[in-house]
Amino acid sequence: MNPLQSALQFVAQLVDFEIEGRRVGLNINAAAVDDWTELDRTLLSVQPRGNLVMDNANQAIRIANMLPKSIVVGRFYHPRDGRFWLNFLPHEAVEYAKNKGARPHDRVWWEVNNEPHTGDEETIRAWIDWEIQTARAFAAEGLHYVTALVPSKSIHKDLVERGIYDPLLQELHDNPFFHLGIHEYGYLFPMAQWMANYPRNMFSTAAMQPENWPGEIPWSRRADGVLPDNWHLGRVAWLQIRAEEMDLGRIPYIITEAMHDNMDDVSRLVLPDITGTLPIKEWVKQFNGGHDVNGMRSLEGLYQRVLPGWPFEDLLYLMMRWGDLIYSPECIAICLFTYSTNLDWYWFWVQPLKTLLSKLALLPIRRGLMEGIPVVEYPVIDAPTALQPYTVQSVFASGIRIREQPRTSSAQVGLVPAEALSGRVYNPAEPIIGGDYQWVFVELVLDGQTVRGWVARHRISTGEDYLVLNPQTPPAGQGEICVRLDDYEYDDLETTIHVNLGLVLSMMKVRYEVFNVTQAYTVLRAAADTAQAEADAEVAALAQS
């Protein structure tokens, strides 16, 4: 094992964190999202344990921060998709990702080599070596790297048995920056491949009733010792079985694209008593206005024919529930392709399926530990003086960005969640004006780390508040001032004096605060003067009466 791997393995032993959420998420085409607010509402409702964001590193990181117990894959498209690995050396792949905005984040994994084209055994060996070297190059930059395999193209049963993928599995086990991502697509009724009389069963009303769908799929060798007959879906089981036999344990994986597409080996078949002289692919077009039946939205007509009486999106939800049920515990998430308005993928759009998206929140919450993922520290930013304690709350459900500098073009270092957080804010009565915004400096604890930076509190032109600042709730024994002697020459003195001013402070409406000596004197003097003035007034009133 080389020194880098040894160091990474050491880190893996030290760091572990929990992921939590539902196992059905979204594959998001950032350039074709027409309403980010609606998307955020969906994500916050569903709470997926994993999502993919294409071609926008900032949005990938933002969503990871918004869903703090999730994994986000940040994918970068390249015109040579599929052949990226044949055109870029490992170090060039890293630079490509960095130029696209990739940067270290403990829960954002970067993808550049989408659906790699592989062929014979020699090509597959070369591709595996490229993936290993690229993962190490990413790790050297503190970046997580994830594969994007199409198992039916790249994973072959005989090669698994002969150990061709063993180096890949070993690296996935040893390198905590390297992760397994796959695409899983089925045809028409994906579960039919594990049922009797496939593919004819897909057109049988009786066979396709949801109560007949298999409750599990094979994740171990058959009784005769042969790898299970998983075909379009479930080939990742072959890698898991091999990894166990190598004493590596099961390998966590994320399904970055799912779940319906055309499958040529099935769709080109002719079933004379069902499709006549037409291949299945051509015959089913009659149920989608002459268009291909591949993405989820193209299935409605066929589903109504095979399963009349079932609401279409209810069937799709049952299919998502089935997918969540049958995939092994190592599966982090299943990302539905695609949340997009790109017309090239019209029949794959999921955002028009409002009923389905709302029902995803009914799926079970799944928890687990992700071992070997190093924590990346938030950047340390110098804080201004006069930080005062407040309860900080974002007006927006999606939260609000924390930035390095008080301007919208500055780098994002964190996210203020929508829910109230205890924090400190710089001079909130006089925010800095930057461009069209008022900015305040915040100091919060996010993911167990102190995060500092600038937040847009208010948009001047619209009068729109972004952040609500409320004084922190006083501690038990309201009216107590904590006076800290840290002024002047008291550098080595850690003395704290508690002065009980309950009655006076309640009269003065003075909130709990942490003061230095000078501030404490000012407040005490004002309180005493006020008390004296009120006492004098009472005496005068009594004298008059």
* CATH classification of the domain holding 88: 3.20.20
**How does residue 409 score in pLDDT terms, banded at 50, 70 and 90?**
low
Question: If you search the block for the tokens 């500055």, which residue do you land on?
Answer: 410
Q: What is the pLDDT of residues 67-91, one digit of tens each?
A: 999 999 999 999 998 999 999 999 9
Which of 343, 362, 381 finishes a domain? 362
The answer to whether residues 411 and 358 belong to one domain is no
Q: What is the pTM of this model?
A: 0.68
Q: What are phi and psi of 75, to 5 degrees?
A: -100, 140
The fraction of the chain above a pLDDT of 90, given in percent, is 57
The answer to whether residues 357 and 405 belong to one domain is no
The answer to whether residues 318 and 449 belong to one domain is no
The answer to whether residues 141 and 259 belong to one domain is yes
Round the CA-based radius of gyration of the chain to a whole number and report it: 30
Helix or strand run (H / E) with residue 503: helix 502-508
The answer to whether residues 323 and 424 belong to one domain is no
What residues does 483 pair with on adjacent strands?
Answer: 497, 515
| Domain limits for position 453 | 400-467
Q: What is the pLDDT of residues 96-114, one digit of tens each?
A: 999 999 999 989 999 999 9
Degrees (nearest 5) of the Cα angle 332, 335, 339? 155
The answer to whether residues 404 and 358 belong to one domain is no
Output the pLDDT for position 18. 77
The answer to whether residues 301 and 418 belong to one domain is no
Within a domain: residue 206?
yes
Within a domain: residue 274?
yes
Within a domain: residue 531?
no
The answer to whether residues 282 and 415 belong to one domain is no
Within a domain: residue 2?
no
Which of 467, 485, 517 finishes a domain? 467
Q: What is the pLDDT of residues 256-299, one digit of tens each?
A: 999 899 999 999 999 999 999 999 999 999 999 999 999 999 99
Within a domain: residue 372?
no
Closest CA to 4 of 170, 179, 137: 137
State the Cα torsion 516-521-526-527 to the nearest 10°.
90
**418 contacts 491 by C-beta, under 8 angstroms:** no
Cβ contacts of 36 within 8 Å, gap of 6 or more: 59, 398
Least confident of 122-131, 165-174, 281-290, 416-425: 416-425
Output the pLDDT for position 523. 62
Highest mean pLDDT pick, 179-188, 406-415, 484-493: 179-188
The answer to whether residues 176 and 245 belong to one domain is yes
Output the pLDDT for position 398. 60
Closest CA to 184 of 326, 53, 318: 326
Within a domain: residue 391?
no
Domain total of the chain: 2
CA distance 288 to 190: 18
pLDDT at position 490 over 50:
no
**313 contacts 350 by C-beta, under 8 angstroms:** no
Within a domain: residue 305?
yes
The answer to whether residues 350 and 405 belong to one domain is no
The answer to whether residues 195 and 291 belong to one domain is yes
The answer to whether residues 348 and 415 belong to one domain is no
Output the pLDDT for position 521. 56
Which of 467, 490, 521 finishes a domain? 467
